[in-house]
């Protein structure tokens, strides 16, 4: 019995020694992976972005008052986050850096894509078969970067556009729905007062402020169209329409081009039209004003 106890005690000492050794042994420092910055450029340094493809017209964006706009192939508001994702190639890091003395080795003698930021040029070549990263040349070096930069840049032009009907910085002060069929008889006006309360032009309307705020925040403030495309107004056609009132006294006119099977509204001043599911489109144009029966 005593012999078994001694064996167990010895085993316990061995285990304790192993635990102490593992706990107290010097920790090996993990090797840090070398990262090479593709450039020392800053995201805010540029006012023009040109995306160039072989045998294809370039797609060009210009920054105006701090916001990116499509300039070619036509003029339109750009999706700011998407353009910024492309521009962020200037801040990319690479695990590898190669001298740019054999561009053919990386498929950069005939690049698949060029991104020009003002006078700075980034060339995109083939993909690394092991890491699936892409070779990019800038100045006198070649780097490996994730494919998100070129994949975003190669997206169809319409996918690079802002899907919000309102411009960044346009602050809503109210809505004039009086020219829509459902509100034409009562000439509905909805206004956001300086105290943050919603006012409705109809005497028998008792708007719930929380419901109105939710309607505005969930739809007009955050809504994005499912698709957006250029729009040339037909001067011979007359459409139901409405206006979004802006702080400062200006307003934005919209044409209601279609109600079903999807809602399509056009913004003539920017030459764009926006597609929404019919239920969302209906809610956009019918605020919960609390009409009494």
pLDDT of residue 28: 52
pTM listed for this prediction? 0.80
The three-class DSSP label of residue 51 is strand
Question: What are the domain boundaries of the chain?
Answer: 36-160, 172-284
What average pLDDT does range 152-163 have in this prediction?
Answer: 95
Q: Length of the chain, please?
A: 293
pLDDT digits (tens, 9 = 90+) for 238-272: 999 999 999 999 999 999 999 999 999 999 999 99
Bridge partners (DSSP) listed for residue 97:
143
Rounded to whole angstroms, the Cα distance separating 266 from 137 reads 42
pLDDT digits (tens, 9 = 90+) for 173-219: 999 999 999 999 999 999 999 999 999 999 898 999 999 999 999 99
Count of CA atoms in the C-beta half-sphere (13 A) of 151: 8
Rounded to whole angstroms, the Cα distance separating 84 from 69 reads 12
Q: Which one, of 134, 96, 130, 98, lies nearest residue 115 by Cα?
A: 134
Give the pair of three-digit tokens for residue 77: 């508001």
Bridge partners (DSSP) listed for residue 125:
none
Q: Answer whether 189's CB lies under 8 Å from 244's CB.
A: no
């Amino acid at each position: 019995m005593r012999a078994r106890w001694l064996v167990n005690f010895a085993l316990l000492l061995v285990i304790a020694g192993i635990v102490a050794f593992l706990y107290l042994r010097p920790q090996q420092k993990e090797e840090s992976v070398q990262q090479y910055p593709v450039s020392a450029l800053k995201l805010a340094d540029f006012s023009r972005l040109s995306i160039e493809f072989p045998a294809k017209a370039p797609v060009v964006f210009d920054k105006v008052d701090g916001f990116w706009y499509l300039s070619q192939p036509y003029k339109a508001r750009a999706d700011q986050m998407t353009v910024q994702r492309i521009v962020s190639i200037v801040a990319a890091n690479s695990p590898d850096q190669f001298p740019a003395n054999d561009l053919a080795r990386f498929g950069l003698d005939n690049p698949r894509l060029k991104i020009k930021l003002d006078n700075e040029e980034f060339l995109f070549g083939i993909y690394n078969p092991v890491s699936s990263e892409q070779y990019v040349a800038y100045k006198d070096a070649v780097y490996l970067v994730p494919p998100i930069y070129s994949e975003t840049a190669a997206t169809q032009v319409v996918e690079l556009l802002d899907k919000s009907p309102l411009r960044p910085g346009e602050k809503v002060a109210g809505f004039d729905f009086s020219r829509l069929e459902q509100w034409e008889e009562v000439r509905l006006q909805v206004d956001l007062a300086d105290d943050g309360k919603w006012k409705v032009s109809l005497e028998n309307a008792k708007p719930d402020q929380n419901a109105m705020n939710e309607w505005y925040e969930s739809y007009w403030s955050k809504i994005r169209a499912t698709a957006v495309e250029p729009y040339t107004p037909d001067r011979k056609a007359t459409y139901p329409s409405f206006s979004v009132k802006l702080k400062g006294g200006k307003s934005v006119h919209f044409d209601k081009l279609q109600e079903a099977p999807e809602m399509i509204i056009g913004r003539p001043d920017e030459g764009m039209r926006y597609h929404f599911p019919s239920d969302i489109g209906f809610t956009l144009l019918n605020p919960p004003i609390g009409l009494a029966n």
